[in-house]
Amino acid sequence: MRHHGPGSARAVRAALDAARPGAVLVEGPAEADVLIPLAADEDMRPPVALLAHAVDEPGRSAFWPLAEFSPEWVAIRWALEHGVPARFVDLPAAHTLAWGPAEADGDGTDAGDADGAGDADGDGGAEGRTPGADLRIDPLGVLAGIAGHDDPERWWEDVVEHRGAAEGDVLAPFTALEEAMAALRATYGSGGHDRDPVREAYMRLQLRSARREFGDGVAVVCGAWHVPALRQRTTVAADRALLKGLPKVKTEVTWVPWTHRRLSRAGGYGAGVDSPGWYGHLFAAPDRPVERWMTRVAGLLREEDRPVSSAHVIEAVRLADTLAAMRGRPLPGLSEMTDAVRAVMCDGSDVPLALVHDRLVVGDVLGEVPRTAPAVPLQRDLDRSQRRLRLRPEASARDLELDLRKETDAGRSTLLHRLRLLGVDWGEPAASRGSTGTFRETWRLHWEPELSVRVAEAGVWGTTVLAAATGKAQADAVGARGLAAVTALAEHCLLAGLPAALPTVMRVLADRAALDTDVGHLAQALPALVRSLRYGDVRGTDTGALAEVAAGLAERIFVGLPPACAGLDADAADEMRRRLDEVHGAVALLGDVLAPERADLRERWHRVLGVVSGRDTVPGVVRGRAVRLLLDDGELAQDEAARLMGLALSPGTPPGEAAAWIEGFAGGGGGMLLVHDERLLGLVDGWLTAVPARAFTDVLPLLRRTFSTYEPGVRRTLGELLRRGPRAAGRMAGGPASGIPGFDPQPDVERADAVLPMVRLLLGLAGDHASAADGDDVSNSPTDDLVGVDT
């Protein structure tokens, strides 16, 4: 049979019903026999997979996936329903896992399938290939080629998936496949797979044992490629000689959920199929599969607001039937269905067709396993946490918005952060929509079957998620390279709620900070520490020790930054400019969380920026950025900023250095400064028009990079100002007015006051400011009364 195919699965069930064997032997790891009864549990829903991993090295693992339309699953279910013993007869995982990457076949596949796609013979899709793996043949491809077909999948659908068993002889398809495989093995040998003879020797021994126990009424369900080898006449001694001296490791085996997406070849599983969702449909809907499929497609497209009517469904079915008849196929296959859907329901477009392929042809079905299935202690603790927090794993990706002020959401955030620390990336942080408050978090959740292996690997750190994350954080702190890695780990510990790990992390952090003399490293580490303080305040975490380390880092940055900015090349200067921005934001937050006696940090930082902005040895992009930061904080008057710009853009300054100064000053949202301050815009305009032609091509890339970051409206306004002449309108009005209507050197307080009632209504503050006409004292600024509101 083929490992994943609805036609093969139905044929296996029909053959078992007809033969009524006394025992059923299934290709799979022998250790999993004890797990077979769980297949009858009402909570077991395929697709699922057998997971085997080495006890001492959980990362060495293998999967044996089974879908509802897998013949092995059908055989197991048939045996359980009829009270017939069922056993796995393939080589134990203890041997296949001990083989190691160098001796394994590389990608978890073998030539032992009728489809040539392989089966999970022990690697479960492990990466890497051995030279022998490239010699394997594709039995399905060879048979399809002999039949004159260039598409093995399509040929298999025609001869098996769309045709039932022959009348009166349900074993006829298996007999035909056995003859074909025998001919192929006679021509190609074992297909270049070194492991096949060992596996087949073990299966022959298990078959002999079952016959002694149950008689000749034994059914074996395996890949068609193995059948000739199982019928081969060999001695017990010869088979045992092949198994002698095999390496072995201690293993554990359990059931884990699987997904249709991981059954597809695109998901990386070697024995997969291109269209698991389509095959699942064929297996679940043996009657009128075409009509039912088109109805599902129409429902999906309607959910996406595409106009699809019942008439579209009827026409698509007719077109699919017509295409199948023209191509000589017994029933419309996936290619005919796809062509019909594209032409009738998608108006010839491949965009909605891609959605149909992703959601239906492949699909996001996630299996379930019962709670009684064996699991490592860490997995059981994770399951309890998921149930308590109502955070169910799902195969499809979804966004999760969390409000950390709520107990359940805070618990979910903590769990996800702990799992990320353990390398179990179930959730990825995403940008929050509509709020930038520290109490908001957005996660992108996507559960993959491989995460079960990650959980097993993380079990070496502890038996609970909390204990494992704590142990992993402590070990990572000791082995971390660089100060930035330790500060990032401290931030993770606070986010994950690991108070027991913080003392170790803080000790390592203090030691690394004391020994590191690179100002760039210190500047890279400070923002993460300040973010940790910020999140610690939101989550109620004691961050006193962290605050002291952060303050010490800031002090050392203040001392070492001016000399560190001198003599930098272009790349280092650009990196230092980014560090300047990060430290500036970190110092602003740090001044708010430290004790009052350390409140002068911001003033001292401003003095450092003043020193950097006035040193000629500092690259222009760094000096320009320092001036911009001081101007934004109100520490530098606009007249002084214009003077410094004039000096930087003077004729004696090389054009490249002047362009770099403009990039540092005007980059990152500086367009509005030029819009509202005509003196600065005039200086830039005057300098640019005076740049010699020979130097213009050198400064143009810097200028394009600077001005391309502006919003389209800002660029349009600047262009309008320059077209009219920045100072022309001001001279006409007798003052420094803007060159285009709508701009004024001073805010219009009356117009600003008119907006306040609506702003208060939106913020729920309408009742707090009843009337300014009643004699109440109102704020001096139109927006002073909104300060402190968390939006």
Helices (H), 117-272: 139-146, 152-156, 172-188, 196-214, 227-231, 236-243, 260-263
Mean pLDDT, residues 101-112: 36
Rounded to two decimals, what is the model's pTM?
0.62
Summarised one tens digit per residue, pLDDT across range 617-654 is: 888 888 888 888 888 888 888 778 778 877 877 777 78
For residue 421, the SS3 value is helix
According to DSSP, the residues that pair with 429 across neighbouring strands are 443
According to DSSP, the residues that pair with 402 across neighbouring strands are 441
Phi, psi values for residue 350, rounded to 5° = -85, -5
Q: Is the pLDDT of residue 548 over 80?
A: no
Is residue 223 a contact partner of residue 1, using CB atoms and an 8 Å limit?
yes
Mean pLDDT, residues 106-130: 35
pLDDT at 688: 75
Is residue 122 a contact partner of residue 104, using CB atoms and an 8 Å limit?
yes
According to DSSP, the residues that pair with 368 across neighbouring strands are 45
pLDDT at 696: 76
Q: Is the pLDDT of residue 537 over 60?
A: no
Q: Which tokens belong to 664?
A: 């540092």
pLDDT at 116: 35
pLDDT at 372: 84
pLDDT at 308: 92
**55 or 30, which is more confident:** 30
Q: Which amino acid is at 520?
A: G
Which of 261-275, 391-405, 674-688 is the least confident region? 261-275
Per-residue H/E/C for 86-132: EEEEECCHHHHHHCCCCCCCCCCCCCCCCCCCCCCCCCCCCCCCCHH
Summarised one tens digit per residue, pLDDT across range 317-350 is: 999 999 989 988 878 888 899 999 999 999 999 9
Distances (CA, A) of 355 to 182, 347, 351, 359, 365: 42, 14, 7, 6, 15
> For residues 27 and 25, what is the distance between their CA atoms, to the nearest angstrom?
7
Q: Is the pLDDT of residue 31 over 50?
A: yes
Largest CA distance in the chain: 111
Angle at 557 (CA atoms; ends 551, 558), nearest 5 degrees: 90
Question: CB atoms < 10 A from the CB of 112, how many?
Answer: 30
Q: Which tokens belong to 331?
A: 């029933």
Is residue 4 a contact partner of residue 12, using CB atoms and an 8 Å limit?
no
Is residue 89 a contact partner of residue 32, using CB atoms and an 8 Å limit?
no
pLDDT at 270: 44
Q: Is the pLDDT of residue 126 over 50?
A: no
Is residue 660 a contact partner of residue 700, using CB atoms and an 8 Å limit?
no
Q: Is the pLDDT of residue 399 over 60?
A: yes
